[in-house]
């Protein structure tokens, strides 16, 4: 990597650290190429991204950002996962760590908040933005559905009463 490429990587990482709400740091030592590819595919499918960068360059990129405290985790072979959805990267990282013993989550950051391993796992258990939006739409639509049911209920009751009288008259 020449100096220009390093500078480009540092600016790219600095932009990432300033714009994304969540960052997860993990050790990946011992993972095969196939396992790394699978991790990248899973992250991409959920809208997250994985980067393997030199720790020194990542620490330079962290300077001045809200997640600068993550720099203390960058020791050894580390991987950085991030996403615009606050739970996408932690969710995939935790699921991948369950299936692969050599993938060890070290911690991360949620905005200005530092996260330890338990914090990342807690964030992973939360519903995603899409799930929350679906629940919200369901809650908004539920009262409208109930109002529609209530407005049609009296008419249905009247129809049943008239039907009962009609059957009664036919029987008599």
Predicted local distance difference test score (pLDDT) of residue 146: 67
How far is it, in rounded angstroms, from Cα 89 to Cα 64? 23
pLDDT at residue 151 greater than cutoff 80: no
* C-alpha angle 70-72-74 in degrees, rounded to nearest 5: 80
What is the percentage of the chain residues whose pLDDT exceeds 70? 92
User: Could you tell me which of 90, 91, 94, 113 has the C-alpha nearest to residue 103?
Assistant: 94
Q: What is the pLDDT of residue 84?
A: 86
| Gap between the Cα atoms of 120 and 130, Å rounded | 19
Average pLDDT, the chain: 84
pTM for this prediction:
0.71
* 52-70 tens-digit pLDDT: 888 888 888 888 788 888 8
Task: Kindly list the strands in the beta sheet with 78-83, ordered across the sheet, starting from the edge strand earlier in the chain.
Answer: 48-51, 78-83, 22-27, 104-110, 113-115
Please give the structure tokens belonging to residue 159.
Answer: 């129809």
Residue (of 154, 82, 148, 157) closest to 115 by Cα position: 82
The predicted-structure confidence for 73-123, as pLDDT tens digits, reads as follows 888 899 999 988 888 899 999 999 999 888 999 998 888 888 888 888 888
% of the chain residues with pLDDT over 90 = 20
Q: Domain residue spans in the chain? A: 3-126, 127-172
CB–CB of 21/113 below 8 Å?
no
From the list 128, 119, 109, the residue with the least C-alpha distance to 47 is 128
3-state secondary structure of 61: helix
Instruction: Kindly state the tokens that stand for 102.
Output: 């050599």
Domain 3-126 belongs to what topology?
Answer: Alpha-Beta Plaits (3.30.70)
């Amino acid at each position: 990597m020449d100096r220009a490429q390093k500078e480009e990587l540092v600016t790219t990482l600095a932009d990432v650290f300033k714009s994304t709400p969540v960052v997860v740091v993990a050790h990946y030592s011992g993972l095969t190429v196939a396992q790394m590819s699978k991790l990248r595919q899973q992250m991409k499918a959920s809208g997250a991204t994985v980067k393997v960068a030199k720790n020194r360059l990542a620490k330079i990129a962290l300077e001045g950002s809200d997640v600068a405290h993550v720099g203390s985790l960058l020791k050894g072979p580390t991987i950085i996962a991030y996403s615009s959805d606050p739970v996408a990267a932690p969710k995939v990282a935790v699921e991948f760590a369950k299936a692969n013993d050599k993938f060890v989550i070290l911690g991360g950051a949620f905005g200005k908040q530092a996260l330890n391993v338990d914090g990342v796992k807690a964030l992973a258990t939360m519903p995603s933005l899409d799930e929350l939006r679906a629940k919200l739409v369901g809650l908004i639509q539920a009262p409208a559905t109930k109002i529609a049911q209530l407005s049609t209920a009296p008419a249905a009751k009247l129809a049943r009463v008239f039907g009962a009288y009609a059957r009664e008259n036919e029987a008599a």
